[in-house]
Structure 1
Amino acid sequence: MHCNQDNYTPLRLSHKADLLYLLRDVDEVYRRSSAGGSKMIRSHQHQVRKRLSRIIEADEHLLLKNPESKPVTIHLPRALEIGARGPLTQMAQTIGRVAPLFTWEYGYDKIPRKLSQCYAFTEIVSPSGPVPSSNIIIGLVLFAPGTVYPQHAHHEIEESYISVAGAWSENDAAVFAPGSLILNRSGHQHRITVGDREPCLLVYAWLGKDERLLKPNMKFSREPKKS
């Protein structure tokens, strides 16, 4: 039997309903989350929604990858249970349905062995798919209980996190609960710590130049020695 390629129809976003719903859920969260009076955060939210809306309206062709797990993904079911009881119930439930499509990654050429057991991320919208876009990255990052994610910064990338499940802190300055949004400007040094009892699941959005999003060059920073 020969395959007639003329009859091949590439998958579009609308062919994966739950993936489309997830992008709409992310759009809705960035739409209704408070900017806390910050013009900077409000502008970032607007840009995320604007770029997501274009992707949804364009009904993009999908670039689905092979699903891949990492050691930390054993904590995903628990994180989704927590998220389903929190303010982002609908998003947590949608993530659970889409999860079999996820390709979990580390993003670093070299990663400490201990961190490789308790951290991973998966991209939903990015230059390399599964939903292709050159000017925004939307993804999920999962941390096991008790994780310390080392100090780092993103050059020429503006980053926001929204908590789906679990409590976490950045630079030991505050504790963020599910539903919280935090913005890191380009070059801002930050370190993430997660509570000891529960995993933490965050949605993140990256905005930046096309060439920077294509090659983020993720690296950990050297933390200053304590005197």
Structure 2
Amino acid sequence: MTDTLDREETDKETPLSRLKDTPDWLYLLREFEGLYRKGSAGGSTSIRSHRKRVRDTLSAVIGTNPQIVVREPTTKPVTAHFGRALDLAERGAMQNVARALREVRSQLTWEYGYDRASRSLRQKYAFCEILGPRGPVYAEDLVLGFVLFAPSTTYPQHSHPDIEESYISIAGAWSENDAAVYAPGSLILNKAAQEHRITTGEVDPSLLAYAWTGPRARLANPSMKLSSTRRARAVH
């Protein structure tokens, strides 16, 4: 009888964990919302619309108290620079985001996203999704995360079909398409399928927050591909 009861208990479905049951993820998402609420659009209608779309969608997701999807935490070679990036962020205007991110540091799943990324790129780059179709905070209409670069990194020319993407600088200095140097707090918007290339400073790592908006099917399957060398040279 006891064995039967034990099996019945084991077979019972474990209640799903929800966002409001995991304060560290909730606080991090609120800091993310603040990034898109408090910053300036710099007079750009496109950036203003994107910022509003991100924060309105995020607010709606938080309001549904979404499921937490348990993912296996993983590290990559570049995460050896993560502590330094958080230290830099905590010294400046991004300190609240950095502190909230530090609380979930051991739960992050760092990945590459490209099947054919070069060995050198795999040493210097990785991203972690925090909200999206794969979790850990489940959402279908928005993807949020962080991307980390080692010093002296060149992130090759690439684009995201059907996905509008923004970066907000959290720590370090970096450049997109060699156009300018962006400091913490800067927001860069890449329209869907817009080619872009990132380079980072020589001394410190760079940590960027990112947001993706687009069709549900594309967010679930972003089809991340690096541009060919020939095409990348043509763009520049």
Q: Under TM normalisation by the shorter chain, which class is it?
A: over 0.9
The alignment status of 1:144 with 2:180, answered yes or no, reads: no
Aligned to 1:66, which of 49, 59, 72?
72
The alignment status of 1:224 with 2:230, answered yes or no, reads: no
Aligned to 1:99, which of 87, 97, 105?
105
CA distance in structure 1 between the partners assigned to 2:214 and 2:80 by the alignment: 32
Q: How does 1:72-83 map to 2 (within 5 A)?
A: 72-83=78-89
The alignment status of 1:12 with 2:18, answered yes or no, reads: yes
2:32 matched to which residue of 1? 26
The percent identity for this pair of structures is 50
Counterpart AA for 1:107: G
TM-superposed deviation, 1:224: 2.1
Count matched residues.
Answer: 227
TM-superposed deviation, 1:225: 6.3
RMSD: 1.5
CA distance in structure 1 between the partners assigned to 2:11 and 2:87 by the alignment: 43
Alpha-carbon deviations, 1:177-208, whole Å to 9, x = none?
Answer: 00111100011111000001000000000001
CA distance in structure 2 between the partners assigned to 1:184 and 1:225 by the alignment: 18
1:168 matched to which residue of 2? 174
CA distance in structure 2 between the partners assigned to 1:150 and 1:115 by the alignment: 9
CA distance in structure 2 between the partners assigned to 1:21 and 1:100 by the alignment: 16
CA distance in structure 2 between the partners assigned to 1:189 and 1:18 by the alignment: 34
CA distance in structure 1 between the partners assigned to 2:12 and 2:70 by the alignment: 20
Aligned to 2:189, which of 183, 187, 206?
183
More helix by share: 2
CA distance in structure 1 between the partners assigned to 2:168 and 2:32 by the alignment: 9
Unaligned runs of 5+ in 2: 1-5
TM-superposed deviation, 1:26: 0.6
Alpha-carbon deviations, 1:106-130, whole Å to 9, x = none?
Answer: 0011110000000000000111111
Counterpart AA for 1:23: L
TM-superposed deviation, 1:211: 0.6
Counterpart AA for 2:156: P
| Displaced runs of 4 or more, over 6 A | none
CA distance in structure 2 between the partners assigned to 1:117 and 1:8 by the alignment: 38
CA distance in structure 2 between the partners assigned to 1:11 and 1:87 by the alignment: 32
TM-superposed deviation, 1:4: 4.7
Aligned to 1:203, which of 187, 190, 209?
209
TM-superposed deviation, 1:6: 4.3
TM-superposed deviation, 1:9: 2.0
Which TM-score applies when normalising by structure 2? Answer: 0.93
CA distance in structure 2 between the partners assigned to 1:123 and 1:5 by the alignment: 31
CA distance in structure 1 between the partners assigned to 2:13 and 2:145 by the alignment: 32
CA distance in structure 2 between the partners assigned to 1:155 and 1:17 by the alignment: 34
SS of residue in 1 equivalent to 2:104: helix
TM-superposed deviation, 1:86: 1.3
SS of residue in 1 equivalent to 2:70: coil
SS of residue in 2 equivalent to 1:177: coil
